[in-house]
Amino acid sequence: MYSTATSFYLPDLLSLSKPFKGSTNPHYRKAAAESRAWVNSFNVFTDRKRAFFIQGYNELLVSHTYPHAGYGEFRTICDFVNLLFVVDEVSDDQNGADARKTGQIYLNALRYPGWTDGSPLARMTREFRERLTRTTGPRSFRRFLQHSEDYIECVSREAEYRERGEILDMESFKHLRRENSAIRLCFGLFEYSLGIDLPDEVFQNPIFERLYWAAADMVCWANDVYSYNMEQAKGHTGNNIVTVLMKAQGCDLQTASDLIGARYAELMESYLADRERLPSFGPQIDNDVRLYLRAMENWPIGNLEWSFETNRYFGPLHDEVRHTRLVVLTPQRDVSDSDSD
C-alpha cells in the first residue's frame, strides 16, 4: 500500500457532476467577512493556523453549497462551518482521550442552553446554538443533535486510530468517514436554511435514504482524493479513502485515484435513478422534499468548484491542477514544518 509515486492524476469528477448545477450565494462577501471576524475574535488560532484558516475560505465553501440561503441563515451556517474547522483543527493534534474532551465541550454547549466552561469553543458553540434555535424546526434540531453526537464519537475514534497508526478495512472506514467528515451535520442544516422541518418518515424511506447517502458519499470520496496530497504531506493519511483503497486493493496511488472516479460515477448514476423513483409523501411534503434534494445536490458540485478556487488542497497551482488534473506530491517535511505551531 506504500506508494513510491511522486505524482498522480485526479479523476475527472467535474465532468461526472454535470447533472448538478452549481451556484453561489449573493450574501457571500458581507457574511464571510463578519463570520471570519467572529471566529478570529475568540483567538483560538496561532498565527500560522490563522493564516491557514483564512486561506481555506470556509465561507466560500458555504457560498457554493448553500446558494439558496437567506442572509441570516447563510451567516449562521458560515459560523458553524468555521466552528467545525476549530473542532477539527484542535482534535487533529490530540490523542483519542483529549479529542473526546474537546468534543464533549461542543456537545454540552449544543445540548444545554447557556452551558459554558468558559472556553472559546464553548462560547462559540453557545452563540451558534442561540442563532440556530431561533427558527430551526424541532425535528431537524433533534436530528442535528444526534448527528453531532455521532460526529464527535467518530472524530475521537479517528484520533485513536491515528495514535495506533491503524488503517481500517474498506467497510469500517466507509461508515467512519460518513460521520467524521461532518457531512451529515452540513446536510442537517438544509432544513434550517430552507425554513422546512421534514418528518422522520422521509428520512426513513429507503429510496430517500439511498439518495442521501449517494450525495454524502460523493462529497466524501471527492474530498479524500482532492485532499490526499495535503494530508500525506502532514503524515495524516490513515483517515483517507485513497490510503484505505491502496491497502484493501493492493494497488498504487494512481489506481486508487481511478477507482475513486469509477465509484463517483456509480454514485451519480444511482442518485439520478433513485431521484426518479422517489414516492410521494403528500403535496406539501413533496414540495419540501424537492427543496431538500436541490439543496443536497449543491454539495457535491459546490465542493468540487470550491476545491479549485482556493489554495487549501492544491496551493497556488489550483487553476492549473483543475485544467491538467495532475497533482505533484509535496514532501512531508515541507508542509509539516510550515504548518507546525
User: What pLDDT does residue 135 have?
Assistant: 96
CA-CA-CA-CA dihedral for 259, 263, 266, 267, to nearest 10: -160
Neighbours of 167 (CB within 10 A): 18
Model confidence pLDDT, tens digit, residues 230-280? 989 988 777 799 999 999 999 999 999 999 999 999 999 999 999 999 999
Judge contact between 325 and 10, C-beta under 8 A: yes
Is 55's pLDDT higher than 90?
A: no
Least confident of 41-55, 69-83, 105-119: 41-55
Model confidence pLDDT, tens digit, residues 196-206? 999 999 999 99
User: What pLDDT does residue 236 have?
Assistant: 75
Model confidence pLDDT, tens digit, residues 255-268? 999 999 999 999 99
Count of residues in the chain: 341
Is 103's pLDDT higher than 80?
A: yes
Sign of CA dihedral 256, 262, 265, 266: negative
Across 157-168, average pLDDT:
83
Tell me how far CA of residue 181 lies from CA of 56, 61, 144, 152, 281, in angstroms: 16, 15, 14, 10, 30
Question: 105: part of which helix (H) or strand (E)?
Answer: helix 96-111
User: What pLDDT does residue 195 have?
Assistant: 97
User: What pLDDT does residue 334 have?
Assistant: 46
**pLDDT top residue among 154 and 261:** 261
Least confident of 27-36, 209-218, 227-236, 251-260: 227-236
Q: b/e map of 1-27 (b: 16 or more CB within 10 Å)?
A: bebeeeebebbebbebbeebebebbeb
User: What pLDDT does residue 336 have?
Assistant: 38
Q: What percent of the chain has pLDDT over 70?
A: 96
Residues whose CB is less than 8 angstroms from the CB of residue 164 and which lie 6 or more positions away in sequence, other chains included: none
Across 96-108, average pLDDT:
89
User: What pLDDT does residue 333 have?
Assistant: 57
Model confidence pLDDT, tens digit, residues 120-151? 999 999 999 999 999 999 999 999 999 999 99
Is 229's pLDDT higher than 90?
A: yes
- Report residue 161 as a C-alpha cell: 486510530
> What is the rounded average pLDDT for all residues in the chain?
92
Closest CA to 244 of 166, 190, 157: 166
**pLDDT top residue among 263 and 88:** 263
Is 81's pLDDT higher than 80?
A: yes
User: What pLDDT does residue 166 have?
Assistant: 85
Q: How far is CA 142 from the centre of its chain?
A: 20
Model confidence pLDDT, tens digit, residues 14-24? 999 999 999 99
